[in-house]
């Protein structure tokens, strides 16, 4: 293990987003004193900002912006991507593919700047769809990414970018670490607008049903598709542990607690103390039939695996989204 030097400049790209904002917060909590956060979004749209963190608004699809971002950095966590939940990535394949410019240019800039370690946030979408056709899915091992047939658009971009990291290590000696995230969720993230993922979407829909009094929730698909969902605290611990490790191959960072979407709704209903009628939208984007994380390798390599129960993480997520939505409702009443 090679702990990150607390006085070394850490660059977090995508710092205005969900995982990036939490990562900056965690690095601060761990005593890092020199952090640079970069995102394409205007500062007013960042989910979390800190007065003692250098913040820059840059479009990292451009090589010049990447060079500016990487200047002087010792470590890079590259989380920047144009992405969202299934409703977004199924309908915006070209936009998701263009994210390849970010990782390509960030690798180039990092290599030129003499960066010591480079982290890339990949995704479980790199796994072949043919391995995810059954709701009772066999958990996905890291080796299951090949032979390659990832999710069209977003998955191909992620898998290609993984290979870029590998070859920058082989050809230029840039130390790279790659995590395959599995459905990360938690507070301080997107919960509406089309880019939100299932946990946040379900929380929002349950709260909306309560506010409107409709007593009904719309579920995409038949609700029997399965997923595992990873709470943000587990994601952060795994990310930093992998960055500090000697593991050069991609690792799953994901919970192995498999649930159906109907069971996810059950959990949120219990948190909200409500029972809703379910309306199934069978023609909505719903992704693969089943997806779960095999945590054998991460347990072997890091001596740890995500363990936060979905019920506990969803309660914290629901409470934050409820606070946000009810505050917005009150503001609208007084406008």
Decide if pLDDT at 59 tops 50.
yes
Tell me which DSSP letter residue 191 carries.
Answer: -
% of the chain residues with pLDDT over 70: 95
Q: What is the pLDDT of residue 193?
A: 84
Q: What is the pLDDT of residue 335?
A: 46
What one-character-per-residue DSSP string does 88-138 give?
Answer: HHTT-HHHHHTTHHHHHHHHHHHHHHT-SEEEEEEEGGGS-GGGS-SSSPP
What are 155-212's pLDDT values in tens digits? 999 999 999 999 999 999 999 999 999 999 999 999 998 888 899 999 999 999 999 9
The stretch 260-271 carries a mean pLDDT of 98
Q: Is residue 190 part of a domain?
A: no
Q: What is the pLDDT of residue 233?
A: 98
pTM: 0.94
Q: Are residues 155 and 217 in the same domain?
A: no
Decide if pLDDT at 113 tops 90.
yes
Tell me the three state secondary structure of residue 69. Answer: helix
Decide if pLDDT at 33 tops 70.
yes
Q: How far is CA 144 from CA 5, 123, 304, in A?
A: 34, 13, 21
Q: Active-site residues: which are they? A: 154
Decide if pLDDT at 84 tops 60.
no
11 within 8 A of 69, measured Cβ to Cβ: yes
Q: Is residue 302 part of a domain?
A: no
Q: How far is CA 67 from the centre of its chain?
A: 24
Average pLDDT, rounded, for the chain: 94
Q: What is the pLDDT of residue 302?
A: 98
Q: Are residues 65 and 92 in the same domain?
A: yes
Decide if pLDDT at 68 tops 90.
yes
What are 288-318's pLDDT values in tens digits? 899 999 999 999 999 999 999 999 999 999 9
Q: Is residue 301 part of a domain?
A: no
Q: Is residue 299 part of a domain?
A: no
Q: Is residue 2 part of a domain?
A: no
> What sign for the dihedral angle of Cα 156, 162, 166, 167?
positive
The stretch 2-19 carries a mean pLDDT of 95
The stretch 252-268 carries a mean pLDDT of 98
Q: What is the pLDDT of residue 89?
A: 61
Host domain of residue 218: 198-227+258-291+308-334
How far is 68 from 52, CA to CA, in rounded Å? 19
201 within 8 A of 216, measured Cβ to Cβ: no
Q: What is the pLDDT of residue 153?
A: 86
> What CATH number is given to the structural domain containing 215?
3.90.25.10
In degrees rounded to 5, what are phi and psi of residue 222? -90, 0
Q: Which residue in the block uniquely carries the two structure tokens 């993230």?
A: 189
> What sign for the dihedral angle of Cα 135, 309, 326, 82?
negative
The stretch 3-24 carries a mean pLDDT of 96
How many domains does the chain contain in total?
Answer: 2
Decide if pLDDT at 96 tops 80.
no
> What CATH number is given to the structural domain containing 60?
3.40.50.720
Q: Is residue 211 part of a domain?
A: yes
How far is 334 from 325, CA to CA, in rounded Å? 15
Decide if pLDDT at 1 tops 60.
no
């Amino acid at each position: 293990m090679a702990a990150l030097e607390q006085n070394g400049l850490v660059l977090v790209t995508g710092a205005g987003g969900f995982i990036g904002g939490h990562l900056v917060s965690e690095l601060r909590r761990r005593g890092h004193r020199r952090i640079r956060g970069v995102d394409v979004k205007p500062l007013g749209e960042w989910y979390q900002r800190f007065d003692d963190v250098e913040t820059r608004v840059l479009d990292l699809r451009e090589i010049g912006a990447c060079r500016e971002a990487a200047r002087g950095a010792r470590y890079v966590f590259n989380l920047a991507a144009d992405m969202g939940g299934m409703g977004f990535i199924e309908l915006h394949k070209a936009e998701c593919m263009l994210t390849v410019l970010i990782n390509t240019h960030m690798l180039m800039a990092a290599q030129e700047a003499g960066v010591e370690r480079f982290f890339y946030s990949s995704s479980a979408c790199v796994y072949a769809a043919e391995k995810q056709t059954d709701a009772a899915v066999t958990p996905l091992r890291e080796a299951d990414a090949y032979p390659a047939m990832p999710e069209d658009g977003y998955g191909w971009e992620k898998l290609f970018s993984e290979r870029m990291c590998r070859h920058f290590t082989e050809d230029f000696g840039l130390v790279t670490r790659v995590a395959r995230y599995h459905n990360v969720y938690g507070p301080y993230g997107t919960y509406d607008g089309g880019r939100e993922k299932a946990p946040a979407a379900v929380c929002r829909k349950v709260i909306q049903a309560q506010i409107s009094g409709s007593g009904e929730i719309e579920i995409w698909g038949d609700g029997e598709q399965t997923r595992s969902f990873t709470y943000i605290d587990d994601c952060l611990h795994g990310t930093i542990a992998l960055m500090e490790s000697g593991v050069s191959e991609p690792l799953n960072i994901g919970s192995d607690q498999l649930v159906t979407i109907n069971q996810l709704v059950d959990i949120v209903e219990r948190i909200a103390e409500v029972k809703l009628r379910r309306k199934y939208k069978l023609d909505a984007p719903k992704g693969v039939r089943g997806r779960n994380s095999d945590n054998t390798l991460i347990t072997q390599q890091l001596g740890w695996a995500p363990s936060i129960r979905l019920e506990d993480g969803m309660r914290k997520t629901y409470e934050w989204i409820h606070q946000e939505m009810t505050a917005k409702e009150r503001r609208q009443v007084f406008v």
